[in-house]
Structure 1
């Protein structure tokens, strides 16, 4: 187990989605704001993480399942670290927790937007390339994709961009906010087997982040198109949406959907069979999607 935990030091290089792992709760902000020196800053962050030990053990274990579904060689490392955290291993001796500690402080510093102040980065904490924190309801963006990149990764699984757009729209309009691990895991069960290398798997996850954020942006903009304009693409989009609905069913309580939700479900199911009601897809469905997004519970 010790060897596997040491290997976790290289996770940020081999699994870039870890760049979105950080603490940004009110408790975190209060602890960091009260620090009066770089050393106190780090000490305060470790105290917060100790109180969140169980949370990070669960996050890491869930990601082990995600990697297992995709056939990754890092699964055992994630499981070993999750077990070690649960067993009480010293957080400071667990490299990935050191990464999360540093990342959390970097995000806090970015949000304070103070380029020169009393909290210059300690020499053992590489703050120089800190990522910007995501806006509420969005995920940290990776590098912008070039034309056709995502389509190329989807093709071996028999999927297309309209399908993934439907899937992400479903995720973003679930009555309850769906955590990234809970919508990535089922998606990787579908796409993962066709991504033969770990590099492709990582790149696929990276490309999903800006797509997810783009979906959120469209749902917030009243004039943005949410559904493909080309009628032949609507069944594909609808299938992606329904896949998200089924894959994350715990986040879709019937009470929150109300009777209209059942009507919309029937419309989408009929669309996957080629029975499309254009008026529903032009007006009623986009309005329902934006309503669902606006009412989503965190």
Structure 2
């Protein structure tokens, strides 16, 4: 029986410990909770049980909200239903007036930190001040003094905007809108500077409020040349016409007055620029090491298909060495590729254009990051006129190759599974496909459903591989040309089954469906009943006593090594498919005679299923204590080998205690003392890891 996700999470709750520990705990468990409506309901019930809403619980709630938002953006199965659970909870609590002011502040901050607008039910007096006329007649505090109290003296730019955004998040919407407008019209330089970020606020009302403030400030003669320059640039990044029209009135008035003065944009130095390849949601991370005198930062951007510039912020560093160390730590958890500075303008212009096409402004933090990257004047490009070839192969190198050569490049795409860790995220798990898979009864039908769905997504995958080609084009070798050839093949109608990487995408999609929502609520497999389904293929004959040991003779493998290896794959922090874990186990090993390889594979999958059943039942590792020293040594060697698969065992997914145990496992094969330490320790640790993996 599966362990309860929330129970496992709370069992590891760090309490009111250090912030780093709390946020690490929240980040680990939030994606797992957000995918399970029962876990979300349980979290809300826990918040009812702990009405004081301690900081660690609010951090978990905010992280879960962020994961729920991303699931909804990615159109994940059940995402809307899970949000309905949250909405129902808020409505019931609001109707019964169960939230006090302190709770409202904490909950609203959690929503805003997660990139969501707080519901009216958790704001202060949402039924008060229903319109602008009422707001205008209310007794308001001195706005300049109020904001000075909210924003610390040393906070500027995007951090100052976020502090204020969180502070006003619990105010009634009309009051918050009124405050933003009045803040800008004050003409105080720091408040005007913060007001620029509201022009890119995710909420249209806030963008309009800021535009009204700048229009009023311009008519009062308070817009200097520096601010005017910012407004002229920012209007290009605003999606809504009404807000642009209001802002244009202010720009025209300021131009008529021919202003002077204001701050000059600072000139940052860019030292290094790296980018990830896009993942299966179309998300791509870009990092830049930048400096301004003694000030060191890492500028971070997140681009996402259909959303444009989804996030942008700066990570302050205390020194150049701290900057290099921070970037190295990020690269360790996420493979990055060096790109030249001339890669950036086209990529960001395209992302801006894609966001505006979806009526989305870039993330407010882009205002700071654009200055750091020397791209304040960047103009969104028209994504409708850009072709895949323009992105992937601007020099038209593919056109000079024969059809046979392009085919060879496409066939090499199967090696991406080995060469690019990000490929483990290239699968589909959206609600549309999940709904289709619920209707099938056989494995064959499920496979056909996935192929059919991928056919409708040619444009998405073509764009993903074209963007990958644009990144890799600046590195060594011709790997980029493989991606360009695949993107071209997708655009020109090549059959998906003649593009090898899609075999992996189909297999991974099916594996994820089976591991995740492949079971109906009554426990029945959505892929049919294997005992009564002729399309499932012949059953694998059970393993006979000593059979695997005989098959493995004259190879470096042993049954115990394989058991250890499979255990590490199953309890790993990240799920990986046989495509990921079979090559490191069997690569380069020869099995002489007959069909030994196939039978070895059959037995491996049988053992995989048995160990996985143990993980589901909460009984894993119990037999380790009875293994002889030699067999236990082999088991440890197998586990250690699988733990080197970075896609399954990323350091980012491990606590310090987990890393210590892994170190002991890797050293245990040659140290009897370590083996005696591990034997009683491992079953409990494996059970915890299995609970995470099963619920994840």
> Structure 1 length normalisation: TM-score?
0.57
Q: What is the CA–CA distance in structure 1 between the aligned matches of 2:650 and 2:497, rounded to whole Å?
A: 41
The within-5 A match list for 1:129-148 is 129-131=534-536, 142-148=540-546
Q: How many residues align?
A: 222
Over 3 Å counting, the alpha-carbon distance change for 1:194 and 1:113 in structure 2 is closer
Greater helix content: 1
Unaligned ranges ≥5, structure 2: 1-403, 408-427, 441-445, 466-484, 519-523
Over 3 Å counting, the alpha-carbon distance change for 1:285 and 1:157 in structure 2 is same
The within-5 A match list for 1:2-81 is 26-31=431-436, 47-51=452-456
2:688 to 272, 291, 297: 291
Over 3 Å counting, the alpha-carbon distance change for 1:92 and 1:294 in structure 2 is closer
Q: Is the 8 A contact 2:618 2:691 kept in 1?
A: no
Q: Is the 8 A contact 2:552 2:558 kept in 1?
A: yes
SS of the residue 1:164 aligns to: helix
SS of the residue 1:157 aligns to: coil
Alignment-derived partner of residue 61 in structure 1: none
Alignment-derived partner of residue 111 in structure 1: 526
In the alignment, structure 1 residue 186 sits paired with structure 2 residue 584: yes
After superposition, what is the alpha-carbon deviation per residue over 1:240-265, rounded to whole angstroms, capped at 9, x for unaligned?
1101111x123222232211123212
Note the C-alpha offset of 1:177: 0.9
After superposition, what is the alpha-carbon deviation per residue over 1:9-68, rounded to whole angstroms, capped at 9, x for unaligned?
xxxxxxxxxxxxxx9974335347789xxxxx999776314146659xx9xxxxxxxxxx
In the alignment, structure 1 residue 229 sits paired with structure 2 residue 632: no
Note the C-alpha offset of 1:180: 1.4
**Structure of higher CA gyration radius:** 2
SS of the residue 2:667 aligns to: helix
SS of the residue 2:643 aligns to: helix
Q: Is the 8 A contact 1:170 1:241 kept in 2?
A: yes
TM-align CA RMSD: 4.6
Over 3 Å counting, the alpha-carbon distance change for 1:283 and 1:130 in structure 2 is same
Alignment-derived partner of residue 271 in structure 2: none
Alignment-derived partner of residue 307 in structure 2: none
After superposition, what is the alpha-carbon deviation per residue over 1:52-110, rounded to whole angstroms, capped at 9, x for unaligned?
6659xx9xxxxxxxxxxxxxxxxxxxxxxxx889724554986x99xx8xxx9xx9997
Over 3 Å counting, the alpha-carbon distance change for 1:142 and 1:279 in structure 2 is same
Q: Is the 8 A contact 1:218 1:226 kept in 2?
A: no
Q: What is the CA–CA distance in structure 1 between the aligned matches of 2:547 and 2:535, rounded to whole Å?
A: 26
Unaligned ranges ≥5, structure 1: 5-22, 36-40, 59-82, 115-126, 133-139
Alignment-derived partner of residue 168 in structure 1: 566
Alignment-derived partner of residue 210 in structure 1: 606
- More contact order relative to length (CA 8 Å, sep ≥ 6): 1
After superposition, what is the alpha-carbon deviation per residue over 1:251-290, rounded to whole angstroms, capped at 9, x for unaligned?
2222322111232123223320132446643432111112
Over 3 Å counting, the alpha-carbon distance change for 1:211 and 1:85 in structure 2 is farther
Over 3 Å counting, the alpha-carbon distance change for 1:49 and 1:255 in structure 2 is closer
Over 3 Å counting, the alpha-carbon distance change for 1:284 and 1:86 in structure 2 is farther
Greater strand content: 2
2:489 to 81, 87, 93: 87
Q: Is the 8 A contact 1:167 1:243 kept in 2?
A: yes
